[in-house]
Copies of this chain bind each other. A is one copy, B any other.
Amino acid sequence: MKHHQYALTPPMGWNSWDCYGATVREDEVKGNADYMATNLKKYGWEYVVVDIQWSEPGAISSAYRPFVPLEMDEYSRLIPAVNRFPSAKDGKGFKPLADYIHGLGLKFGIHIMRGVPRQAVHQNTKILGTEVTARDIAKPNSICPWNTDMYGVDCSKKGAQEYYDSIFKLYAEWEVDFVKVDDIADSKLYGAHTDEIKMIRKAIDCCGRPMVLSLSPGPAPLEQASLLEENANMWRMTDDFWDLWELLYNMFDRCYKWSKNIGPGYWPDADMLPLGHIGIRSVDGGASDRYTRFTRDEQVTMMTLWSIFRSPLMFGGELRDNDEWTLSLLTNEEVLDMHKNSHSARQVYRQDDKVVWTAKGDEENLYVALFNIGNEKQKVTVNLNQLDLPSSKQVHLRDLWKCKHLGSVSNEISYELSPHSAKLLKISL
C-alpha cells in the first residue's frame, strides 16, 4: 500500500489543539514552528499542524460556536479565516504559511472535518468540476455529534468523490503534508464512517502530493483494523486524551489491544501529548490555562509507553513556554531512537498494576519498559525467558531516561518503582 511510504516511522510534531483549542492564529503557528526548527527538528520532530476551526473568524475557545458562518470559496470548500491567518488573503489559502514552514525545513499539517459544510448545503453552492451542488451530495442526516459545521457526504451520489477530490486538490496546491480528518474514526451516533475514509484515501491518492492521513476521534474500532491500515497512516485509539491519570492508566489496555495492528506506515495513535503549557485558550479536558497536571513520573510513564508502543508523538503544549524538563522529554536521543527504529513491541505481561513491555531493536539489542501503574510503590520484575532470552544469559542494561549504564544481570530484571512511574531499559546481548 503506497501510502504507507509517507510515514515509515511514527509521525512526530506539534498540534495547536491542546494549547489553543479552536482559535490558533498564524503568528502562534509560526512561533511554534520557529521553536521546532531551532530546538526539535534535529531530533526528528517535523509536523506543524493547525487544528480545528481555522475557517471560523470568531473562534474564541475550544468550545464551538454553533452554526456560525465559516469562510468558504465558491466551490463549497472551507478556506482559512483571514483575520486569523493574514497571509491567506486574496485567496492564497494556507500556501504562504506552508511556504514559511517548509522554509524552516518542516512539514505543514491541517485538520479538517469529514463532510461538506452545512452552510454550503443550505446555500446550495457548487462542487468543483461537476454539475452538482453541495445539496446533492450531502448525506442529510449524517452529522457530527459535537460540531455543527458539516454534513456527511453520501458516497453513492454523483459528485461525492469529486468533492473530496476537489478539497484535496486545494490542499495539494497549498502544499499540505499532513491531514487530520475528524468525526470519522468513531462517532457516538454512527460508528466509524468507512465509506468516507475510502473516498478520502482515493482523493489523496490522486491529488498529486503525498500527505499523511490521520483519523480522529477515537476509539477507532479494532474490528476495522484492516480497513484503517489500508486507508490511513494513523488513527486514534482513544477519545481525546488529556492530562488526567485515569486516561493514561486506560491507555495501557488500549495499546495492548492494538499492538498487533502496527507497522511501517500504519500507526494506532494514543493522541497528543498534553505536556508543558496547555489550555491557553481551551477549556477542554476539564481545565483551562495551566502547566500540565501530570507529575514528572507520569510524564515519563506516558513518554515511555508512547515511545515503546510507537504511537505518533504530537506535542500539545505551547512550545515556546517549555521549561528545561519538558524539553528534555522531547530530546532524549536514545528514547527517540527506540521510537523510530524498534519493532515488534508487545506487552510481556500485566499483573494487576504491574505492566511490562518489550520491543526489539537491532540484532543485538532489545528494549524493556517496566511500569508501576498502581498507587503504591512496588517491585516490577521480568524474567529473561519472558523476553525469549535464556535465563542464564548475562545481559547488559542501560537506563534510557537517565542515560546511564546499570551493569549486567542474568535471570531476571527487577526494580522497585514509585507509583505511576516507569523504567525504560535497553538490553545489550
Q: List chain A positions with a Cβ less than 8 A from chain B.
A: 1, 66-67, 118-119, 121-124, 135, 138, 140-141, 143-148, 189, 222-223, 225-226, 229, 256-257, 259-261, 346-347, 388
Q: Can you report 16 residue pairs joining A to B where beta carbons are below 8 Å apart?
A: A1-B388, A66-B140, A67-B135, A118-B122, A119-B122, A122-B123, A140-B147, A140-B148, A141-B143, A141-B144, A141-B146, A222-B223, A223-B257, A226-B256, A226-B259, A260-B260
From known contacts A121-B67, A189-B189, infer whether A141 and B135 are also in contact, taking CB-CB under 8 Å.
no
Q: Is the CB of B226 within 8 A of A138?
A: no
Query: How far, in whole Å, are A246 and B189 apart by their CA atoms in the complex?
Result: 30
- The answer to whether B226 touches A260, judged by C-beta atoms less than 8 angstroms apart, is yes
Option from B122, B222, B256, B347 in Cβ contact (under 8 Å) with A67: B122
Contacts of A141 in B (CB 8 A): 143-146, 148
CB distance from A395 to the nearest CB of B (A): 19
Q: How far is the CB of A388 from chain B (nearest CB, A)?
A: 8
Measured between beta carbons, the chain B residues less than 8 angstroms from A223 are: 222, 257
* C-alpha spacing A67/B136, complex, angstroms: 9
Cβ contacts under 8 Å, A146 to chain B: 141
**Closest residue of B by beta carbon distance from A347:** B226
Distance in angstroms between the alpha carbons of A329 and B135 in the assembled complex: 45
Query: Nearest B residue to A263 by beta-carbon distance?
Result: B260
Interface of A is mostly: mixed
Cβ-defined contact, B260 with A67, below 8 A: no
Complex-state Cα separation, A140 to B143, whole angstroms: 10
Question: Are B144 and A66 interface neighbours, CB within 8 A?
Answer: no
* Contact residues in B for A122 (Cβ distance below 8 Å): 67, 118-119, 122-123
Besides A67-B122, A143-B143, 12 new A-B residue pairs in contact (Cβ under 8 A), listed by A number: A1-B388, A66-B135, A122-B122, A140-B147, A140-B148, A141-B143, A141-B146, A141-B148, A222-B223, A225-B257, A226-B346, A226-B347
Residues of B within 8 A of A226 (CB): 256-257, 259-260, 346-347
B118 adjacent to A260 (CB under 8 Å): no
CB distance from A64 to the nearest CB of B (A): 8
- Which residues of chain B have C-beta atoms less than 8 A from A388's C-beta? 1
Q: How far is the CB of A393 from chain B (nearest CB, A)?
A: 16
> With a CB–CB cut-off of 8 A, which chain B residues contact A347?
226
Among A140, A145, A346, chain B packs the most CB atoms within 10 A around the CB of: A140
**B residues near A138, Cβ cutoff 8 Å:** 66-67
How distant is A86 from chain B, measured CB to nearest CB, in Å? 27
Q: How far is the CA of A141 from the CA of B118 in the complex (A)?
A: 12
B-side contacts of A144, CB under 8 Å: 141
- With A122-B122, A189-B189 as known contacts, state yes or no: A140 contacts B67, CB within 8 Å: yes
Closest-by-CB residue of B relative to A261 is B260
Q: How far is the CB of A201 from chain B (nearest CB, A)?
A: 12
In the complex, the 10 A-B pairs of residues with the closest C-beta atoms, listed nearest first: A66-B140, A122-B122, A140-B148, A67-B135, A141-B145, A260-B261, A67-B121, A260-B260, A222-B222, A226-B256
Q: How far is the CA of A257 from the CA of B261 in the complex (A)?
A: 11
**Is there contact, CB below 8 Å, between A225 and B260?**
yes
CB-nearest residue of chain B relative to A259? B226
Determine how close the nearest CB of chain B comes to the CB of A160; give it in whole angstroms: 14
Residues of B within 8 A of A121 (CB): 67
Docked Cα-Cα span, A147 to B140, in Å, equals 8
* Cα of A138 to Cα of B118 in the assembled complex, Å: 15
Q: Which residues of B contact A229 (CB under 8 A)?
A: 260
Nearest chain-B residue to A225 (Cβ)? Answer: B260
Residues of B within 8 A of A143 (CB): 141, 143
A378 to B184, CA, bound (A): 33
Expressed in whole angstroms, the Cα–Cα distance for A10 and B409 within the complex equals 37
A76 → B minimal CB distance (Å): 13
Cα of A230 to Cα of B67 in the assembled complex, Å = 34
